[in-house]
A and B are shown apart, each in its own frame.
Chain A
Amino acid sequence: MITDKLNYSPLVKAESNNALDQFKGTLYPSKKEEEWRYSPLKKLKKIPFINNSSFVVKNLSLLDLPKLEGNILVLENGRFNPNLSSIDNIQGLNISFISNSKENYPYSTNLKTEDYFSLLNSSFLSEGIVIRVDGNAKIEETVNILNIVSSNNCLVNTKIDVFLNENSSLHLKQHFIGNTTSKNGFINHLNNISIKENASLVLDKFQDLNLNFNISNDCINQDRSSKVISNTFSTSGLFTRNNVTNNVNGEHCHSELNGVFSPSENEYIDNHTVINHFVANCKSFENFKGIVKGNGVGVFNGKVIVHENAQKIEAFQNNKNILLDKESIIYSKPELEIYADDVKCSHGSTTGQFDDEAIFYLRARGISLKKSKELMILGFINEVIKKCNNVDYQDFIIERLLNN
């Protein structure tokens, strides 16, 4: 069992007790379940995880990270590391830690209660950060949250609660990092995001886990006229899985889920997304690109559900993949369920290899084979990379995607 060697020391007792009871009654997922059929669950199950909240990283410059600007909050092995963090006081932005909270913090759960990893997270929570943005506050400064696992076999259960009040905006950058010197660490993370009327969130996620595991369960709830743009860049990881549930609860919302994932040798990167259009007059856009190398495995499973009476929905979903080698594997499953009759929806998926003709064309212009392939990949991911408005960040992501 994953939890055999863990000490149980709950951060938030009331919820943890409740969750633990449920967790004890929940079975480890199996490949027989549709949701998990491509995941190397056995690889994860056989690791004897431990609690280890030691600090290993002496300086952030030792990690391969994009340039960080704005607030920097670092969680290392599940514990807040103040030495690596820098927090400015910003008007309208309130950041607190669940471990410090004196009150019985009434955060909403929104758990998919049947989900093993969400329950594991709540039962053995290491740390949680609560970010609140006041109504009408437009936060210019980026908030960076680094979630680093730097000890072998370390299980990290972290959680971020984000509350954007009416008319507010925030740019959040999350970085999930598996230190190159550690292996078999596991960041089991929950994002619980609530976006109130007319508020907007940009969430850039960078996942570079190396020889470690990462499951991230994101639940995004949107109220009327709100906007979310989520860009997920997953460059490496033994087992990286993103489960995103985007509930669109108010009309005139804009929802965007984008991503590029590049599993290479022995790696597995999986994006499972669900967009629930519960109400009318909303737009959603989804665009994921996979680049699979060696015997790497990539998964895209995107589901858009247009519920009854959610008329005038425009929902577009797209997944494209390139397989760089003969052994490379992609599982792509675009799903569209529509229960309303006046909607505009599309979904599509393509998987292919490099176009030899195009490579020859580039080489005939004096571009080396290696550089030609890079240009082709660059062209392939360009439309998703452009979603980030910071050029330094774009360049960093491109560099990491090309060199994994």
Chain B
Amino acid sequence: MKEVLIEIKDLECEIGDQKILKGLNLKVNKGEIHAIMGPNGSGKSTLSSLLAGNDNYKITNGSISFEGEDITDLSPEERSWKGVFLAFQYPIEIPGVSNINFLRTALNEKNKFFGKDPIPAKDFLKMVSEKSALVGLDNKLKNRSVNEGFSGGEKKRNEIFQMAMLNPKLSILDETDSGLDIDALKIVAGGVNKLKSNENATIVITHYQRLLDYIVPDFVHVLHDGKIVKTGDKNLALELEKKGYDWLKINSLN
């Protein structure tokens, strides 16, 4: 029997007057990779942002439970401590704050939450060099300001590097493939695959099937107009690539 990691039930949300999610259901077990695909404006990025705790969106119905605990009202940092990680579609630049200082602060805040001591400098640096090797992140970038002046590819690698450092239970990759050339895509996907275990799970959000050649999903869901309208295995992604999304819109009406 597989253990449920996250279960989203009847989730509805809005921003301003606009309804975005309209009754979304999703269950992800430990050890699984789920891909969520869908056309522009279907609510993919809203879902990922919402799972990470962004309070720009108002939840009007439904619940999100993580390892059996309702996390709907938890702050972004509390969700992070419990093991939720969002790799941002557009990683934010933070001038003046070094990548290293940022990560050490993040790890120590997590340690504090679990009543543990701050990580010793030596262990931290060892961890940094191990984990950055995973995505081939240039040494220089570690000491630079967070994402400042990074290329698109470097930003995405930095996201996966942070993921490796924080060792989350649930990783949500929001269009991690966008802006990546094929070599960078392989490296980033390779990093994600190495971090995969039976204890964690991954939700991959993408427009294109291409990424799923490298991160092979157990399930593919199609999000359309705020709901999951179809679920299948990896072949569904191939079918979507051939037929586009319009085919599904008609299908879902029937």
B-contacting residues of A (Cβ < 8 Å)? 355-358, 360-369, 371, 375-376, 378-383
Q: List 23 A-B contacts (CB under 8 A).
A: A360-B52, A360-B76, A361-B92, A361-B94, A362-B94, A363-B53, A364-B52, A364-B53, A364-B79, A364-B85, A364-B86, A364-B88, A366-B77, A366-B109, A367-B77, A368-B77, A371-B105, A375-B97, A375-B102, A375-B105, A376-B97, A378-B97, A383-B96
Q: Mark B91-122, 1 if CB is under 8 A from A, else 0.
A: 11111110001110111011001000000000
CB–CB B75/A369 < 8 A = yes
Q: A383 to B148: give the CA distance in the assembly, Å.
A: 14
Q: A380 to B97: give the CA distance in the assembly, Å.
A: 8
CB–CB A365/B106 < 8 A = yes
Q: A93 to B47: give the CA distance in the assembly, Å.
A: 68
Q: A4 to B83: give the CA distance in the assembly, Å.
A: 67
B139 at the interface (CB under 8 A from A): no
Q: A362 to B162: give the CA distance in the assembly, Å.
A: 11
**CB-CB < 8 A to B143: which residues of A?**
none
B166 at the interface (CB under 8 A from A): yes
Shortest Cβ distance from A365 into B: residue: B106
Q: A376 to B53: give the CA distance in the assembly, Å.
A: 20
CB–CB B145/A379 < 8 A = yes
Task: Given A361-B88, A365-B102, output 9 extra A-B contacts at Cβ < 8 Å.
Answer: A360-B52, A364-B52, A364-B88, A365-B103, A365-B162, A367-B77, A367-B105, A367-B106, A382-B96
CB neighbors of A among B130-188 (8 A): 145, 162, 166
8 nearest A-B residue pairs (beta carbon): A379-B96, A366-B80, A363-B76, A382-B96, A379-B97, A361-B92, A365-B106, A364-B76
**Nearest-Cβ distance from residue B68 to partner chain A, whole angstroms:** 21
**Nearest-Cβ distance from residue B153 to partner chain A, whole angstroms:** 19
**CB-CB < 8 A to B245: which residues of A?**
none
Q: A358 to B88: give the CA distance in the assembly, Å.
A: 11
Partner of A363, one of B75, B85, B113, B145: B75
Tier of interface size on chain B: 20 to 34
**CB-CB < 8 A to A366: which residues of B?**
77, 80-81, 106-107, 109-110, 113, 166
CB–CB A371/B109 < 8 A = yes
**CB-CB < 8 A to A367: which residues of B?**
77, 102, 105-106, 109
**CB-CB < 8 A to A368: which residues of B?**
77, 109
**Nearest-Cβ distance from residue A324 to partner chain B, whole angstroms:** 17
B54 at the interface (CB under 8 A from A): yes
CB–CB A365/B96 < 8 A = no
**CB-CB < 8 A to B80: which residues of A?**
363-366
**CB-CB < 8 A to A375: which residues of B?**
94, 97, 101-102, 105
CB–CB A380/B77 < 8 A = no
Q: A361 to B174: give the CA distance in the assembly, Å.
A: 13
Given A366-B80, A366-B106, the answer on whether A358 and B92 have CB atoms closer than 8 Å is: yes
Partner of A361, one of B79, B91, B101: B91
Q: A369 to B95: give the CA distance in the assembly, Å.
A: 18
Q: A375 to B95: give the CA distance in the assembly, Å.
A: 10
Q: A371 to B91: give the CA distance in the assembly, Å.
A: 19
**CB-CB < 8 A to B85: which residues of A?**
364
**CB-CB < 8 A to B52: which residues of A?**
360, 364
**CB-CB < 8 A to A358: which residues of B?**
92-94
**CB-CB < 8 A to B54: which residues of A?**
360
**CB-CB < 8 A to A363: which residues of B?**
53, 75-77, 80
Shortest Cβ distance from A368 into B: residue: B77
**Nearest-Cβ distance from residue A21 to partner chain B, whole angstroms:** 51
**CB-CB < 8 A to A371: which residues of B?**
105, 109
**Nearest-Cβ distance from residue A13 to partner chain B, whole angstroms:** 52
Q: A321 to B95: give the CA distance in the assembly, Å.
A: 14
**CB-CB < 8 A to A365: which residues of B?**
80, 102-103, 106, 162, 166
Q: A363 to B56: give the CA distance in the assembly, Å.
A: 14
CB–CB A376/B105 < 8 A = no
**CB-CB < 8 A to B77: which residues of A?**
363-364, 366-369
Q: A356 to B166: give the CA distance in the assembly, Å.
A: 22
Q: A357 to B162: give the CA distance in the assembly, Å.
A: 17
**CB-CB < 8 A to B92: which residues of A?**
355, 357-358, 361
**Nearest-Cβ distance from residue B167 to partner chain A, whole angstroms:** 11
Shortest Cβ distance from B113 into A: residue: A366
